[in-house]
Amino acid sequence: MTVGIVAVSHSLPLAEAALQLALEMIPGEKPPVALAAGTPDGGFGTDAVAVSEAIATVDQGDGVVVLVDLGSAVLSAEMALEFLPDPEVQVQIVPAPFVEGLLAATVRAATGGDFAAVAAAARTALEPKLDQLGAADPAAEPAAVPQHNATAESGAEAAVTPAATPEPSATAEVRLVNPLGLHARPAGKIAALAGGFNAQVQIINQRGKVAAALSPLAVAGLATKGAETVTITASGADAAQAVKEVAALIAEGFDEADPALLAAASTSAATTAEVMPGEPAGAPAATQPKRRRPLGVSAGRVYGPVLRMGEPLREPAATTIADTAAREAAAQKLGAAFTEVQTQLTAQAAAASGHTAEILQATAMFAADPALRAASEEMVLGDGLNAAAAVWRVASEIATDYEKSGGALAERASDVRSVRDRVVAGLTGQPLPVVPQSPQPFILVARDLAPADTAQLDPQTCLGMILGEGGPTSHTAILARSYGIAAVVDPQAYAQLQDGDQVLLDGSSAEVVLRPDAAAQRTARTEPQLLTELQPLQDPGALASGERVLLLANVGGANDVPLAVERGAEGVGLFRTEFCFLGRTTAPTFAEQKTAYGEVFAGFDGAKVVVRTLDAGSDKPLPFVTNTAEENPALGVRGWRIYAEYPEILEQQLAAIAAAAAEHQAEPWVMAPMISTPAEAAEFVAAATASGLPAAGAKLGVMVETPAAALSAAEIFEIVDFVSIGTNDLAQYTLAADRMLTELAHLNSAWQPAVLRAIAAVGEAAAGRPVGVCGEAAADPLLAAVFVGLGVNSLSMTATALPIVGGALAQLDLATCQRAAAAAIAANDAGAAREAAAAVLQGAQA
**How many angstroms separate the CA atoms of 53 and 6, rounded?**
10
**How many angstroms separate the CA atoms of 39 and 48, rounded?**
11
Q: Do the bridges between strand 301-308 and strand 502-506 make them parallel or antiparallel, or are there none, so unpaired?
A: antiparallel
DSSP-assigned letter for residue 323: -
C-alpha pair distances (Å), 666 with each of 337, 509, 641, 696? 43, 41, 28, 10
Sheet with 33-37, strands from edge to edge, namely 33-37, 4-9, 64-68, 91-94, 147-148
**How many angstroms separate the CA atoms of 568 and 803, rounded?**
8
Give the end-to-end CA distance of the chain in Å, rounded to a whole number.
68
Compute how many other C-beta atoms are within 10 angstroms of the C-beta atom of residue 4.
28
Amino acid code (one letter) for 203: I
Centroid of chain to Cα 52: 45
The DSSP secondary structure of 615-629, one letter per residue, reads --BTTB-BTTB-PPP
DSSP-assigned letter for residue 268: -
**How many angstroms separate the CA atoms of 565 and 153, rounded?**
61
Class of residue 664 by CB neighbours under 10 A (exposed 0-12, middle 13-18, buried 19+)? buried
DSSP-assigned letter for residue 526: S
Where in 581-638 does DSSP place strands (E)? 608-612
- Helix H or strand E segment including 5: strand 4-9
DSSP-assigned letter for residue 799: G
Q: What does the CA dihedral 17, 21, 24, 29 come to, rounded to 10 degrees? A: -80
Where in 10-122 does DSSP place strands (E)? 33-37, 64-68, 91-94
SS3 call for 776: helix
Cα atoms in the 13 Å half-sphere on the side-chain side of 658: 17
Cα atoms in the 13 Å half-sphere on the side-chain side of 392: 19
Cα atoms in the 13 Å half-sphere on the side-chain side of 580: 29
Centroid of chain to Cα 793: 35
Instruction: List phi, psi (to 5°) of 455.
Output: -70, -20
**How many angstroms separate the CA atoms of 411 and 169, rounded?**
21
**How many angstroms separate the CA atoms of 65 and 72, rounded?**
18
| Active site positions, annotated | 475, 774
Specify which residues 234 forms β-bridges with.
170, 201
**How many angstroms separate the CA atoms of 651 and 379, rounded?**
39
